[in-house]
Structure formats: structure tokens, C-alpha cells
Structure 1
Amino acid sequence: MANKATVTVRAAGPKDEAAWRRLWADYLTFYELTLDPAITDATWAKAMSDGSAIFMRVAELDGEVVGFTMSLTHEGTWITSLDCYLEDLFVDETARGRGVGRALLDDLVTLCRQNGWSRLYWHTAEDNAAARRLYDSYVETDNHIRYRIEF
């Protein structure tokens, strides 16, 4: 069994930019995606802006940032408070199996409860077995299928 260590999850701040950019690049590689650098720059700016619904949390092991979540809140038609959508969750390959992903999800669950948000939801690739094992330990899939038109 992999060594379990204490994971600290906190709001991301300007000092986390270099670590996040390294993890973000690995995340994009994992999903075989290429984004214009301007999109990465804009994503960072939104996550750091108090005026954006997007917020970032980072996970630290031994003082090193090894994972992040990017989420946003939004209104909905079937709820009276806000929904929280977990758009991105990534853990550095060297830190996997050490409770980092679970700590990041637990942190979002706590934030949702503290803020009175109605729901936390996310999706993942169907073949992402490792992530799905973690996610399945929280809740069963709701059997919705995603459709997306890109412009």
C-alpha cells in the first residue's frame, strides 16, 4: 500500500502559479489536449480574480503543490442556491494513491456545505478507471450523457 501522508488543501494564490502551470501542462498531456497558451493564461487569471465564478484549490504534500481543482458556481433552474461544478481535478503522477484526490474532493464537499450550495457535480472520461474508482466511492453516476457543440 502506498504511503499515506497528510494532505493540506487550500485556496490557490499567486505564489502557486509556477506549480499550477506545471500540473496544468501534465493534465493537458494526460487528456491529450493542446490549448493555446492564451487560454492557459486566461484560466489562471480567472482563477485568481475575485470577479470570476471560477476558483482554484490546491493540495500540498510535504509543502509541495501536487494537485488542484478548478471549479465554478452557477445558478440553476431546479435549485434555489448555487450549484458547484468541478471542471478539473488533477493529481501529480508521483502523488497518486496517497489520498490527494480524496482530500481535494472532500474539500469541495466541505465548501459546498459551508456555503449552502445545492449540489456538487462533475464528469470524467469513461475510460478513466482510476478517477472513476474514487468518484464511485462518493456517489453513483446519474446516467446522464453529455452533448457538446464546439464553435
Structure 2
Amino acid sequence: MTSIHAITASDHDEWKALWAGYLTFYDAEIADDVTEHTFGRIVDDAELHGAIARDEQGRAIGIVHWLTHAATWSTGSYCYLEDLFVAPDVRGGGAGRALIAHVKGWAEHHGSAKVYWLTQEGNDTARRLYDSMAVHTGYTHYQIAL
């Protein structure tokens, strides 16, 4: 059975390996200092939050990061699930579902009005999971790099 725990400083090396897998999946490169800064912010658990999934043997198999922000359409905050990654060799085993459920439970406990996230259109495997747990809103994402 998959267990989910808050990311702590002692998870650094396992987290970093999963983070690297996530970045590879999205063909992204992030400077080492940004990665280390991100990890520190997650461990601080103030503005960024994170959890790590472990299998029955205690091996780290997945990570999730999220944050909350004020919203104009609600008196509560919105919870943005920013990063979700499960090791390829265990996908389909429930870790992704458990990580999303963890964020949902956290958001409910902290008074958020909703949890939302983005993914690439062609990420079919993940989208099958997401379609079983959430509503696809039909919105298209735009951004301006600064």
C-alpha cells in the first residue's frame, strides 16, 4: 500500500531523483540553485507544500507540490496542484491517485474552495487518471514569460 508523507529535509536525495524524472518527462531544465531553493521552500511548508509517496518497502515513488492563493470568486483560497510525478515503473498502481487525494484532503482541511491543476494535452496516461477524479474545465492555458 502506498503511504503519503510531508516532504522533510531527510527526503532530499529521493525527492531530487523524482524531481529530475519530472523535469525529464516535461523536457524542462531548471538550474540547480532553483531546484535547491524550491526544495527549501517545500520543506519550510509555508508558501509551497509537498508530499512524497512511498511503496510498501519504503521506496520513494512519487511527489506532489501545491500552493494556495486568494481568489476573486470565493471567500476561500484556491489550491493549485503545481507538480505531480510518479515513477514510471509504478504508474497505474494508485500512487498518483493517493497523492491527489492527499492534496484534496489538505485543501479541504485548510478551507480551500477547490483544487485545480494543468497538464499537457497529450499526457494521455495522466489525463485518464485526472478524468476519473476531476472535471475537465475546457480552459486553455496561456502565459507570458518575464
- TM > 0.5 between the two? yes
Q: Which runs of 5+ in 2 are unaligned?
A: none
Q: Which residue of 2 aligns with 1:3?
A: none
Equivalenced residue count is: 145
- Aligned ranges for residues 15-94 of structure 1 at < 5 Å? 15-50=10-45, 52-61=46-55, 62-94=57-89
Aligned equivalents of 2:131, 2:85: Cα separation in 1: 17
State the TM-score, normalizing by the size of structure 1: 0.92
Contact 1:73 1:82 in 2 (8 A): yes
Aligned equivalents of 1:140, 1:72: Cα separation in 2: 20
C-alpha RMSD of matched pairs (Å)? 1.0
Q: Which runs of 4+ in 1 moved over 2 A?
A: none
Contact 1:83 1:119 in 2 (8 A): yes
Contact 1:81 1:116 in 2 (8 A): yes
Q: 2:139 aligns with which of 139, 144, 151?
A: 144
State the TM-score, normalizing by the size of structure 2: 0.95
Aligned equivalents of 2:133, 2:70: Cα separation in 1: 23
- Note the C-alpha offset of 1:140: 2.4
> Percent identity over the alignment?
37
- Aligned ranges for residues 89-104 of structure 1 at < 5 Å? 89-104=84-99
Q: Which runs of 5+ in 1 are unaligned?
A: 1-5
